[in-house]
Amino acid sequence: MRPATDSVPKPLLPVAGEPFAVHQLRWLVSEGVTEIVYSIGHLGQLLRDELGGRTDLGCSIRFVDEGPSLLGTGGAVRLAVGREPILGGDFFVLYGDSYLDVDLGAVAAAFRASGSEALMTVFRNDSKWERSNVVFEDGRVERYDKLEADPTAAGMHHVDYGLSVLSADAVRAGIPSGTVADLADLYRDLSLGGRLAGFEAEHRFYEIGTPTGLAELEAHLAGGAR
């Protein structure tokens, strides 16, 4: 989304007349979420300025700032887990550029019923919107690998939907404190160890990582088909 994101963090890109983050937060609140933790890095102060003082969204918002040395998606979550009580117990992880349509209560119930340390929501994608990267069978993510050269041959028909549930213990065990890490590596290791549950979403995801994705989300918010 450059050059727009050279001066504005992606969650603040305008979508249908408001910052994308506002749409995302309103959806989360509509699903019963009342406490939000933002991991911020690039232009993070602008997110603080825009969202930190708002009282009209129906949720509390806290921020964990990586500072000038970015830690990656996994390192950012590990930083939040290491700063009790910012994140503890079990929690949802949602990408900052994804807009979803899934029942969070059902996702949480599936996580609890699984007995697993983590759960990934998945969508039967068959590489339509993004390259498939998940082997999903009987409520389990049997394999997750973003780098698989031939997803079809590997039996990958699903894609990471952009929402997961993690336990703080799984994060601490899988990501050393202070290191640069990608959540994808943690999910891969959990899947190969038989420790990653799955929940299949019914409706497609939206994202603002490309101009096309942003336009599709605007059409969806305006009442377009799922």
Domain ranges of the chain: 4-218
Strand partners, 166: 91, 118
Specify the CATH architecture of the domain 4-218: Alpha-Beta Complex (3.90)
Q: Is the pLDDT of residue 223 over 90?
A: no
- How far apart (Å, rounded) are the C-alpha atoms in residues 65 and 128? 35
Q: Determine whether 56 is exposed, middle or buried from the number of CB atoms within 10 Å of its CB (0-12, 13-18, 19+).
A: exposed
Q: In the prediction, which pLDDT does 93 show?
A: 96
Question: Which residue matches tokens 């394999």?
Answer: 143
Q: In the prediction, which pLDDT does 201 show?
A: 95
Helix (H) or strand (E) holding 168: helix 168-174
Q: Is the pLDDT of residue 145 over 90?
A: yes
Q: Whole-angstrom distance between the N-terminal and C-terminal Cα of the chain?
A: 23
Q: Closest by alpha carbon to 28, among 162, 136, 128, 156?
A: 162
Q: Is the pLDDT of residue 225 over 60?
A: no
**What is the mean pLDDT of the segment spanning 61-88?**
86
Q: Is the pLDDT of residue 1 over 70?
A: no
Q: Is the pLDDT of residue 22 over 90?
A: yes
Q: In the prediction, which pLDDT does 85 show?
A: 60
- How far apart (Å, rounded) are the C-alpha atoms in residues 42 and 32? 28
**What is the mean pLDDT of the segment spanning 194-199?**
96
